[in-house]
Each structure stands twice: as structure tokens, then as C-alpha cells.
Amino acid sequence: MIGINTAGETSANSIGYAIPSLVARRIAEDLIAGRTPGHPYIGVSYQDLASYLASHSSSSVHGFGIVVSCVVSGSPAERAGLKPNDVVEKIDGTDLNNGETLGGVLQLHRPGDTVPFGLVRGSSQTTLNVTLGDRPASPASC
């Protein structure tokens, strides 16, 4: 199975919405175990690298991924050491390239999981381990 249909648009021509089967499995396992399914949260604002490069033509950044714009104070990202201008290229070994998104990769994990983030900071590559939080009802913004 690839996904589970969750909604459709009746006024459009054959448009449907689905959640990936791996996310559905995570949620089902939580429910079966008596846990409330959570929503993984790290607490950053970001933009994809292509958008960042379009507005920062003098940047020395290259490659793929997302550029951290802001880190929420007290967030899992701040506790792990993520900083503005970090370029996150990988999460848990998955490249943020070819349609892979930060949210899409994080949804495969549960709050409380510790996930390695491969990133470029300045001219150095490093890995930070981020322990995911559970998204608050009203997340703080930067």
C-alpha cells in the first residue's frame, strides 16, 4: 500500500488526498498501544534551498536541503544546537532532495524519537541528534 485516501475534491477532476501508509501505520500502532498519536515537532522556520538561493545570489551555499531561518527558543531544535543559516541536507539518512520534505520525513517518527540531522554549517558538515517534541496546539513562532 502506498497511502490511505483521506479526502477528495468533488468540484475538481479526480483530485484526492492521502496520507502515506507508513504514517498511517505509526498512528495505528500508537492507537493500538493506547497512546495518543503525536505530531513530531522541532521548532524551526525554514525555506527550501532553491528559494533561499533565489533571494541570496551572493550566497556560498550550494547543494540541496532546507535553510533554517529561525529557531524557536526552548524548542527541540534549539536544545539540539540547530542555528539560523544551517543547511539541513539529511534527516535520519534521507536526503531532503527530489521531493523529500522536512515534514514528510519527520512524520515517519514519533515525538520522543532521537533523529540524526546531517547539515552544513558554514563550510563544515556535521550531524546533530534532535529529540523530537510533540507539536503544541499553538506552536510558538520566531
142 three-class SS: coil
The residues pairing with 120 across neighbouring beta strands, listed in sequence order, are: 87, 125
The residues pairing with 124 across neighbouring beta strands, listed in sequence order, are: 121
User: Which cell is 85 given?
Assistant: 543559516
| Structural domains of the chain in order of their starting residue, each with its CATH number | 3-32 (no CATH), 40-134 (2.30.42.10)
pLDDT beyond 60 at 104: yes
Q: How confident is the model at residue 50 (pLDDT cuts 50, 70, 90)?
A: confident
CA distance linking residue 81 with residue 77, whole number of Å: 6
pTM for this model (two decimals): 0.79
Lowest mean pLDDT across 13-17, 25-29, 76-80, 101-105: 13-17
Query: What local confidence, expressed as pLDDT, does residue 62 receive?
Result: 67
103 three-class SS: helix
- Residue 53 C-beta-side C-alpha neighbours within 13 Å: 11
41 three-class SS: strand
